[in-house]
Copies of this chain bind each other. A is one copy, B any other.
Amino acid sequence: MQQRRMSDFVSHMPQALAEARAAATRGEVPVGAVLTDAAGRVVASAGNRTREVHDPTAHAEILAIRAACAAAGSERLPGHRLWVTLEPCPMCAAAISAARIEILYFGAEDPRMGGVRHGARVFEHPQCHHRPEIHDGIAAGESSAILREFFAARR
């Protein structure tokens, strides 16, 4: 029987949700991400910053991946796990694949912009050369509520 790691029992979605809430207070679409290494340690966490840094690629997932890669001195993150509050868009899904992330946990599905379960379905084509294990629906209600409140307040 495969030995279970402590990290298998720890959810980092609460921290990802905190990043999403912090993004909302900055006026950014509230999505948050946390990246853990093979030992289960948090190596990066981020919320959206596209407006603040004038960068359309500054989604939570991309910022976390870039920070972790810079710290690791590698363009690949084998054994790492990414926790995201919302279904990644096609850009982020492809970056997750390029970084060789092992497991993707996400919260709410995103029928409007998502690229994992919807639309481009980036991981489901032969052009995708690394597909993470995927666990979805984690704290989906809370993730959706944060997004709903953010957009309701802006109407």
Contacts and interface: CB of A to CB of B under 8 A. Distances in A.
Interface string A113-155: 1110011111001111100000000000000000000000000
Nearest to A66: B55
A4 interface: no
Contacts of A62: 57
Contacts of A115: 90, 94, 120, 122, 127
Given A120-B115, A125-B120, A127-B120, A75 B98 contact: no
Interface in A77-95: 89-95
For A55, A114, A118, A121, which residue has the most chain B Cβ atoms within 10 angstroms?
A: A55
A56 B50 contact: no
Given A56-B75, A122-B120, A127 B114 contact: yes
